[in-house]
Structure 1
Amino acid sequence: MRAAYVEHPGPPESLQIGDLPRPEPGPGQCLVRVTVSAVNPIDTYVRSGAVAMDLPSPYVPGCDLAGVVEAVGSGVSRLRPGDRVWGSNQGLLGRQGTLCEYAAVDADWLYPTPDAIADQTAAAGALVGITAHLGLVREARLQPGETILVVGGSGGVGSAVVQLAKALGARVIATAGGPDKAAAARDAGADVVVDYEATDMSHAISEAAPHGVDVWWDTRRAPDLDQAIGLCAPRGRVILMAGRDARPALPVGAFYTKECRLLGFVMFKASPEEQRAAADDLCRWLASGEYRPRVAESFTLEEAAEAHALQESATVHRTADLAGKIVVRVGE
């Protein structure tokens, strides 16, 4: 099978395109013919070695996939050959990834693709959708009528948070940098969009939420906890899912007198049961149109290195703008 892989962790150009043995589904697994993969920041961190993990060699990166079940291993009864599926959680913790024509995937990490939803949409919304759901439902316990502030509401995770928060009945304020990203956040469904390149962000948020925000979701590599706690409502919850190397100051007094909570989580450490609960809602919201993953750029498998380079430019080097997800078309 054709695949994009690396022999050792390295830069985007270390990705090779070539033939690897087609895997066989083991017990509890499905062999999936991959049609679309998606690129996430974590894919580039693992491929480059920035996040150290035990990797098979050669290693195929990629968390997300959509495709068709080709065969099932022993013990699999929920899925059958011919079923369209989507999933995430690949390319991590010793598992091979999804930048390949066929992937052997534990059935626990696969979900049925709604009939009217294209594979590109399902793949683009996989990791970011599960991440958004875990943060909003399991961690923040967002309630209808509450106000949430999404810092970076046009990005992959940010736009998913905006859409899922609206589906859960919340009022959404989103920040974005520049008119194009502001338009993308507005298109995702944000009730109020703050363009931090054109206005003072803290002042605009205070005007939009004079009593404070109930949930503050921060996607920045350098979260500002002084700002977040200062703008939170009493018993506000602050969610962090980025900023691996950040060491922000915490305003302890305001934090405990407001009875705030600071929440951090990692999507791929969630159990299969937790991720399936998220996926069930995502499938329903995909089918209803309440969740519409935004695709920013599309590449072929042969262009996988370019796709990884673009993701790095946007999230690591900050030299490229990206409003939405990068997908890689693997097969038909």
Structure 2
Amino acid sequence: MRAIRVHECGGPEALVLDDIPVPSPGPGEALVRHTAIGLNFIDVYFRTGLYPSPTGLPFIPGSEGAGVVEAVGEGVTDLKPGDRVAYAGPPGSYAEKRLISAARLVPLPEAIDDRTAAAIMLKGMTTQYLLRQTFKVEPGQTILFHAAAGGVGLMAGQWARHLGATVIGTAGSDEKCALALENGYHHCINYRTENFVEKVKELTDGKGCDVVYDSIGKDTFPASLDCLKMRGMFVTFGNASGPIEGVNLGILAQKGSLYVTRPTLFSYIASREALLACAADLFDVVARGIVKISVNQTFPLEQAADAHRALEGRATTGATLLLP
């Protein structure tokens, strides 16, 4: 089978197309034939070595996919060959097929097609835990979401508006802001032409936001803290511009007794019960049309390097898929 592997961490050119043997499932495992593979910024972190591969080198990147079960190992009783499944899990999805723990696979309802599933498992469950668990958004609250036109951002705008929040986003162009406004945002700030802190204060009559969700990192810190009301929460869940470093925790007191958290999806879906509950909530809002999914870019599997260049160059909107 064909697979994209990283033999040495580095730039997009580190993504190499290899032919490797098809593995056989061991106890508790399933072999999944991918029909669609999700692209996420965490894939870049593994490729560059910012996040070390848990299996060493070489490794297959990719943390999200959908497909069909081809075989199951000993002890797997709730899945069978032919079942449609999807997952967000450990690296290994940039391949025509993969082995994965059956406990990490989520059966797909008829209302969710494979490409939608591959676009939402990591990004959609991230949106779920951010809005419904890390900080439970309630009617009347005001939120700020950076990267509003990204895969998580577009889902978050629709979902948060449905929850009754006033939703402010930031994006890097007028075109991306227009897209955000079409996907639930009440306001979107082009951070290349406007000071987003000043604009947030204007939009909130100086009160600030209840919560800021930030996947950008270095470039938006500490300005994001200045967008919060007293005792507001800063949720930093990504490092698209580089990690936040050298933080003086005293700044949280100075800016209004703020809360800060650095969550990851896998802490919220650590048990199978939590995984299925998170996925069920996501599937419900997608199936009911509350959150519409935009797959705006697709690349053949062998063009994974081009997909990474587009992602890192902030040239993508919505979800991006690799197709084996």
**TM-score (normalizing by structure 1):** 0.86
Query: Which residue number corresponds to residue 266 of structure 2?
Result: 268
Give 1:118 deviation, angstroms: 2.8
Matched, 1:217 2:204: no
Judge which range, 154-163 or 58-67, deviates more: 154-163
What is the percentage of aligned positions where both structures have the same residue? 34
Alignment partner of 2:178 out of 183, 189, 195: 183
Query: Which residue number corresponds to residue 87 of structure 1?
Result: 87
What do residues 231-269 of structure 1 show as CA deviations (whole Å, max 9, x unaligned)? 322331110012353236668466467342111112234
Give 1:194 deviation, angstroms: 2.1
Matched, 1:229 2:225: yes
Judge which range, 253-262 or 289-298, deviates more: 253-262
Alignment partner of 2:168 out of 170, 173, 179: 173
RMSD: 2.4
Q: Whole-Å Cα distance in 2 between the matches of residues 84 and 295 of structure 1? A: 20
Contact 1:225 1:250 in 2 (8 A): no
**Paired residue secondary structure (2:286):** helix
- Work out the number of aligned pairs and report it: 319
* TM-aligned CA distance change 1:200 to 1:5, over 3 Å: closer
Alignment of 1:1-332 (within 5 A): 1-91=1-91, 97-210=92-205, 211-222=207-218, 224-243=220-239, 245-247=243-245, 252=250, 255=253, 258-270=256-268, 271-272=270-271, 273-314=273-314, 321-330=315-324
Judge which range, 116-125 or 178-187, deviates more: 116-125
* TM-aligned CA distance change 1:225 to 1:148, over 3 Å: same
Give 1:101 deviation, angstroms: 1.4
**Paired residue secondary structure (1:74):** coil
**Paired residue secondary structure (2:218):** coil
Q: Whole-Å Cα distance in 1 between the matches of residues 256 and 158 of structure 2? A: 28
* TM-aligned CA distance change 1:248 to 1:205, over 3 Å: farther
Please list every run of at least 4 consecutive aligned residues from structure 1 whose deviation after the TM superposition is greater than 4 angstroms: 223-226, 248-251
* TM-aligned CA distance change 1:174 to 1:69, over 3 Å: same
Q: Whole-Å Cα distance in 1 between the matches of residues 313 and 222 of structure 2? A: 28
**Paired residue secondary structure (1:108):** helix
**TM-score (normalizing by structure 2):** 0.88
Give 1:57 deviation, angstroms: 4.8
Give 1:3 deviation, angstroms: 1.5
What do residues 262-310 of structure 1 show as CA deviations (whole Å, max 9, x unaligned)? 1111223441343333211111112112222322321111212222232
